[in-house]
Amino acid sequence: MQARGRLIGLGVGPGDPELITLKALRLLRESPVVAYFVAKGKKGNAFGIIEDHLVAQQTLMPLVYPVTTEVLPAPLSYEQVISDFYDNASLDVAAHLDAGRDVAVICEGDPFFYGSYMYLHDRLAERYEAQVIPGVCSMLGGASVLGAPLVYRNQSLSVLSGVLPHDDLKRRLADADAAVIMKLGRNFPKVRQVLEELGLAGRALYVERATMANQKIVPLDQVDPASSPYFSLIIVPGERWQG
């Protein structure tokens, strides 16, 4: 009986190619199939991190999102379209696994921290051997380039989505010792307004594409809301403690 392949979730870091771990690099090079999520017509940030490490014998498997942030006409819903996409992607990956081929699914940052890999994992890990290699996530890359310690002593850190409604975001930020706000993009104006209402705008730090070659650090009050990308985040560090 044909031995099944392994499903390998590889965190490849936040953007700087040197931030991939040695273990992730070894497993990447050993995997006969390399799968990666990508938007239509693009190469993708995760693929850009690892492409110089690939060899000709490997099979590349782009998993192309049917939609990203565009508004869909009724009766289509983003949730259903993207769920169907993950279902179909899982079937494609499973075909390689059933044929005995390991599949490395690369994921920018960490596979289990807002990583698309987790949706394949949820569908496949009960049926196949799965191994997940952690990666440096974007919030840690952001903290490092901003020079901002996140939490001191007994402080707690809240990781929040900018997609949250105004009142929910405000409530959660008000209760946080320190916070990282991700998924900005067109949610940026709302997030900045909440920070201003809470008196946190002066403490908040903003970075776009942290650790990438086109990284950009901008004062919060100078960010153009129309140009804030999806790969941006805001850090509200914990109050400094003089130990």
**pLDDT digit string, tens, across residues 151-172:** 999 999 999 999 999 999 999 9
Asked whether residue 107 falls in the same domain as residue 38, the answer is yes
Query: Is 28 inside any structural domain?
Result: yes
- How many angstroms separate the CA atoms of 48 and 169, rounded? 33
Asked whether residue 99 falls in the same domain as residue 81, the answer is yes
Rounded average pLDDT over 21-47: 94
Domain boundary residue among 78, 110, 136?
Answer: 136
Asked whether residue 132 falls in the same domain as residue 173, the answer is no
- How many angstroms separate the CA atoms of 1 and 220, rounded? 59
Asked whether residue 94 falls in the same domain as residue 156, the answer is no
Per-residue pLDDT band for 2 (boundaries 50, 70, 90) equals confident
Asked whether residue 128 falls in the same domain as residue 143, the answer is no
210 is in which domain, residue-wise? 139-236
Asked whether residue 17 falls in the same domain as residue 36, the answer is yes
CATH number of the domain encompassing residue 162: 3.30.950.10
pLDDT of 54 over the 60 cut: yes
Rounded average pLDDT over 11-17: 95
8, two tokens: 């390998």
**What beta strand segments (E) does the chain contain?**
7-11, 33-38, 59-64, 103-107, 130-133, 157-161, 178-182, 205-208, 216-217, 232-236
Mean pLDDT, the chain, integer: 93
Domain boundary residue among 83, 107, 136?
Answer: 136
- The percent of residues above 70 in pLDDT, for the chain, comes to 95
Query: Is 1 inside any structural domain?
Result: no
pLDDT of 118 over the 80 cut: yes
Asked whether residue 108 falls in the same domain as residue 151, the answer is no
Nearest by Cα to 58 from 66, 68, 47, 69 = 47
Rounded average pLDDT over 39-53: 91
Domain boundary residue among 113, 136, 159?
Answer: 136
Asked if omega into 134 is within 30° of 0 (cis), the reply is: no
Nearest by Cα to 140 from 242, 26, 10, 19 = 19
pLDDT of residue 69: 60
Asked whether residue 106 falls in the same domain as residue 178, the answer is no
Query: Is 132 inside any structural domain?
Result: yes
The side-by-side arrangement of strands in the sheet containing 216-217 is 157-161, 178-182, 232-236, 205-208, 216-217
pLDDT of 76 over the 80 cut: no
Asked whether residue 81 falls in the same domain as residue 200, the answer is no
Rounded average pLDDT over 48-71: 88
pLDDT of 68 over the 70 cut: no
Rounded average pLDDT over 63-68: 85
Which amino acid is located at 229 in the chain?
A: P
DSSP code of 196?
H
pLDDT of residue 137: 96
Q: How many domains does the chain have?
A: 2
Exposure string for 153-189, b = 16+ CB within 10 A, e = fewer: eeeebeebebebeeeebbebbeebbbbbbbbbbebbe
pLDDT of 192 over the 80 cut: yes
Longest dimension (CA), the chain: 64
Prediction pTM value: 0.90
Query: Is 17 inside any structural domain?
Result: yes
Query: Is 243 inside any structural domain?
Result: no
